Each structure stands twice: as structure tokens, then as C-alpha cells.
Amino acid sequence: MTASTTSSATASAATAADPDSAAASLSAGAFWSDAERHLVRYGPAFTPEIIERAAGSFVFTAEGRKILDFTSGQMSAILGHSHPEIVATVQRQVASLDHLFSGMLSRPVVDLARRLAETLPAPLDKALLLTTGAESNEAAIRMAKLVTGGHEIVSFARSWHGMTQAAASATYSAGRKGYGPGAPGNFAIPVPNTYRPDFTAADGSLDWRRQLDCAFDLIDAQSTGSLAACLVEPILSSGGIIEPPAGYFAALRDKCRERGMLLILDEAQTGLCRTGTWYAFERDGVVPDILTLSKTLGAGLPLAAVVTSAEIEQEAYERGYLFFTTHVADPLVAAVGNTVLDVLTRDKLDERARSLGAFLHRGLTDLATRHPVVGDVRGRGLLAGLELVADRETKQHSNELGARVTRRCLELGLHMNIVQLPGMGGVLRMAPPLTATEEELSLGLSILDQAIGDATATL
């Protein structure tokens, strides 16, 4: 008897006793059987829940469980799930103008480009609308190479910029082994991690200036003289919610200027109010040469952008810049982007992210006072990280602890994301919707409190 035959026989027997539960069981069994048989696995194991719908800060499973979503989907749904204004925009726009030949323009596209420029400092006033973060980084790198005439790209050693060729070649946190050579001329520089400093001052703190100087000494030694750009995140998210110290990006910009490189900032997760300001780079007073946006711009729908100056755009155009894709400048998602800007502005969600972020940070700091396994609390606004360690004094990491806390959170009704990289503890990555309430954040903190306690008790 095959496994599928056994499952059918078991389900048939159960049906006689409880038809409704048996039908649900059979449906779930068929779902996972089909998933195993027909889906390509593209990352870590799938969450063992069938998600039927989502609304606001919660997702709902086929079994009727309500799970608080502390990741905003894939760090994207900044207005929560199924926001009524996003729903209305999609319904209206798809009925009138959804997709066009890529050389045609529509009002939603031009409106969004103009409105994005209005949220940004000069000279960022030219936008290219695309679909994903990887695609926007691909387009930005391609533009930087064409304009500078170079091909070498510098990124952080724990970066994540996407899985397409140029973006993946600038990604160092995962996915590099087994695929052959990446694009030539990609270099990594160390992450300025204040919790785990590598270059230290006399007091043991991170000496990031010496670290940065050393990093570019090594870049200069390896470069063939063809440096094009530095592509970095203002706050490394997949790298463990690591925020470089104040002053770092101004110094990094100067390193780029000295070498004729462009500075590209990837604000896929930090852009559009999540960190408490419209853009994370505002804290540092540094304006990038090229800005890439995605995730938060579409609030869960596939929309991304490359924004640059008129001068760089003109140079790229004169050199024949080509990034002609199937869904470039699509009107449907551009209309959604305009609605996202409407809601962010009207509801002052930058201020809300600052307020709720302070509330979340206080709650996480309180957890740290009661759980010795909490090594560090960090982040800005509603992008937060909590690093778990086996020993707070030595900062010894424990992959098992992080995995147990994450599993227990899901069992208790909280979806969390864990970042586990060599040389660091498990970092719980939190990015609730900007529309979340204090009550929802309190619920998440309460579940996390219990999950940490339960997980440490079983180690």
C-alpha cells in the first residue's frame, strides 16, 4: 500500500466519525502532498501552516488560527494586509488600465515618479519604476557601470541585495556557494557592528573609522582601477538589523568620491517611513547618487523604483542606458504606489513609526532585563532586532536557541523571522506594519516573552 493510499484510507475512516474535521484533514493532507510533489523549494523550510487570508496585522490559517504578523509579509506590507484603500485602488485600476507595452506611459506612472521626487532631497528627481528589489538593484548597478565606465562594486560583507546576477554578486549574507563565479569585480567590506566590534578603540568600542580605512586599503589593493559603485543598506536587515554608527555614511560617501564611485543606497526595507523618517539616510545627512526602493513602496505588491539625479540620468541616456523589461512602468502597481504615498502622508505614518518604534524598543529592552539570553536590542522605528546569545558576557551564539524561540513563537501565534549567520547569535527580526496598534505590539511582546522563557527552559 502506498503512502497516498494509506492517507486516503485513514481519512475515510475518520470521515465516518467526524465528517467536517476529516474533510479538513484530507484537504490539508492533499495540500502538503501537492506542495511536496510540485513546488520547487527555494529557501528555508516552508512555515507549516496553510494561510487562507490576511487582514491588518494578522494572517489566518486553514485551521482557524490567528497569527500576529511581525514581518509585514516579506517586510513589505507597511499598511497591513488588505488595507481597504489598497484593495479599492487595485479593483478600480485593474478594471481600467492594468498593463501596457513597456514603451507606453500612463498617468499613474508619471504621477508616482513626480511624487517620489517630492519626498526626496535634491537632486533625486528621476525615477524608473520596476517590480522587485533585486530588479531595482540590478538596474542601479547597470546604470552606475555605464555612467562611470567602471565595473567593480563594493558592498557590506553581510549584505542582501537580491538573487539576480548583479544583485546576487553584491550579496554576501547567503547564497554564494555552488553557483559558479559571480560578476567580476565584486568586493566586500566589513560591517560596522557595534555589538560585535572587530576594530576596537581603547575602551573596547568599535573603531569604525579605522575599520573603514582598512577596508578601502584592501579595496584599493585589489581593484583594477575600475571602481563603479558602493551598494549598501542604511540598516542591514538580513545581516541582523545592524545600523552603522552616526558619521559612518558621510565617511563612506567621501571614500566613494575620492575614487570616482557612485553611492547607491538600498532602502528596500527602510524606505517610506518604516524607521521613523521617510528615508533612513535622512539621519546621516547624506544623499545617495542612486536610491533603490521596493518592498514598502508597493505595500506588499510588486513595485520597486530606482531614483537618481537628472545629471546621472542624462549621462546614462546619452550612453544608451537599456533596462527594458516586461513590467517596467506598469500602471496597476504605480496606482498602488500613489495610494501608499497618500496613506503615508495623510496618516503621518513617519511619526507613528517613531512613536510605536519607541514603544516596541521599550518592550524589548524590558525583555532583556528579564532574560539573560537577550544580548542586544537594536534597530530604528518599526524595524527592530533582538540578538539571542547563549552567554551574555562572552556573546557566544546559539543557533538552536534562536530556532527554538522562533518555533515557539509560531506555536503561540506570532510569526517571527530569525537571522542566523556565522559568528553571531540568532537575531529576531521584527517589522510590524506601520498601522499596528500598541495593543498588537503588546501582544507580540507578551508572546515573545513566553517563547523565550519556554525555549530557554528546554535547553
Closest C-alpha to 431, from 60, 74, 56? 74
Helix, strand, coil percent content, the chain, rounded in steps of 5: 45, 20, 40
Q: At 450, list the grid cell.
A: 513566553
Q: Is 388 exposed, middle or buried (0-12, 13-18, 19+ CB in 10 A)?
A: buried
Rounded to 10 degrees, what is the CA torsion of 310, 327, 184, 214? Answer: 50
Q: Cell 522563557 belongs to which residue?
A: 453
Q: How confident is the model at residue 11 (pLDDT cuts 50, 70, 90)?
A: very low
pLDDT at 423: 77
Percent residues over pLDDT 90 in the chain: 91
pLDDT at 235: 98
Task: Say if residues 210 and 189 touch (Cβ distance below 8 Å).
Answer: no
Instruction: List strands edge to edge, sheet with 58-61.
Output: 51-55, 58-61, 66-69, 414-415
Domains along the chain with CATH numbers: 85-346 (3.40.640.10), 349-458 (3.90.1150.10)
pLDDT at 397: 86
Q: Cell 494509506 belongs to which residue?
A: 6
Q: At 367, list the grid cell.
A: 525583555
Task: Say if residues 242 and 378 touch (Cβ distance below 8 Å).
Answer: yes
Rounded-to-integer distance, Cα 75 and Cα 268, Å: 9
Rounded-to-integer distance, Cα 88 and Cα 90, Å: 6
Per residue in 78-124, pLDDT (tens digit) is 999 999 999 999 999 999 999 999 999 999 999 999 999 999 999 99
Q: At 369, list the grid cell.
A: 532585563
Q: At 422, list the grid cell.
A: 556565522
Instruction: List strands edge to edge, sheet with 426-430.
Output: 374-380, 383-388, 426-430, 417-419
Q: Annotated active-site positions, please?
A: 160, 233, 266, 269, 295, 429
pLDDT average, residue stretch 30-49: 95
Task: Say if residues 233 and 156 touch (Cβ distance below 8 Å).
Answer: yes
Q: At 137, list the grid cell.
A: 538593484
Sequence letter at residue 316: A
Q: At 72, list the grid cell.
A: 509585514
Residues 6+ apart with CB under 8 A from 386: 364, 367, 368, 374, 376, 377, 378, 427, 428, 430, 448
pLDDT at 3 exceeding the cut of 60? no
Per residue in 314-350, pLDDT (tens digit) is 999 999 999 999 999 999 999 999 999 999 999 999 9
Q: What is the mean pLDDT of the chain?
A: 94
Per residue in 126-173, pLDDT (tens digit) is 999 999 999 999 999 999 999 999 999 999 999 999 999 999 999 999
Q: What is the largest CA-CA distance in the chain?
A: 77
Sequence letter at residue 218: L
Per residue in 240-291, pLDDT (tens digit) is 999 999 999 999 999 999 999 999 999 999 999 999 999 999 999 999 999 9
Query: For the whole model, what pTM was predicted?
Result: 0.94
pLDDT at 10: 37
